[in-house]
């Protein structure tokens, strides 16, 4: 009988690293693990250091009832607006004030890569 010792939210970049480690150890992955790896390769993931920085910044906000699971999901999906954050958090029995949603969105906007402005040639 298997006993669950601890439940912990794991980010997608951590899962990708763990699957790579398992594949090196075992030589191949199971069907489900291989499908998961293919999905993770197709999705753009933030680096572990970037994810840690984002996680720390959100935790510093000390938003009531926002748990590690919620923060992990937000960091994995990297929402870019208040509306996207609200959609992500709808899946949980959690209420976050509009002010706190805006604070979270501001963190992700600051972390997003800056787009270069395109100059139009003047004639």
First to last CA, the chain: 76
* Residue 87 located in a structural domain: yes
Query: Tens digit of pLDDT for each residue in 26-81?
Result: 999 999 999 999 999 998 888 888 889 999 999 999 999 999 999 999 999 999 89
* Residue 119 located in a structural domain: no
* Residue 121 located in a structural domain: no
User: CA–CA separation, 79 vs 109, rounded Å?
Assistant: 9
Res 86 pLDDT > 80:
yes
Res 114 pLDDT > 70:
no
pTM for the structure as a whole: 0.79
Q: What's the domain range around 72? A: 48-111
* Residue 118 located in a structural domain: no
DSSP 75-96: HHH---SHHHHHHHHTTSS---
> Which whole number is the average pLDDT over 11-39?
93
* Residue 2 located in a structural domain: no
Number of domains, the chain: 2
* Residue 64 located in a structural domain: yes
Q: Taking a C-beta distance cutoff of 8 angstroms, is the pair 102, 82 a contact? A: yes
User: CA–CA separation, 91 vs 78, rounded Å?
Assistant: 16
Same domain, 27 and 58: no
Angle between helices 31-42 and 12-26 in degrees, nearest 10: 130
Mean per-residue pLDDT over the chain, rounded: 88
């Amino acid at each position: 009988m298997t006993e669950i010792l601890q439940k912990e939210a794991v980010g997608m970049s951590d899962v990708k690293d763990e699957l790579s480690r398992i594949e090196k150890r075992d030589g191949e992955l199971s069907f489900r693990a291989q499908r998961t790896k293919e999905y993770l390769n197709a999705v753009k993931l933030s680096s572990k250091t970037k994810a840690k920085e984002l996680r720390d910044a959100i935790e510093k906000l000390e938003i009531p009832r926002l748990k590690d699971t919620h923060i992990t999901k937000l960091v994995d999906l990297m929402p870019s607006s208040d509306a996207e954050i609200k959609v992500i958090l709808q899946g949980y029995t959690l209420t976050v004030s509009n002010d706190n949603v805006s604070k979270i969105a501001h963190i992700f906007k600051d972390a997003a890569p800056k787009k270069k402005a395109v100059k139009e040639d003047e004639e």
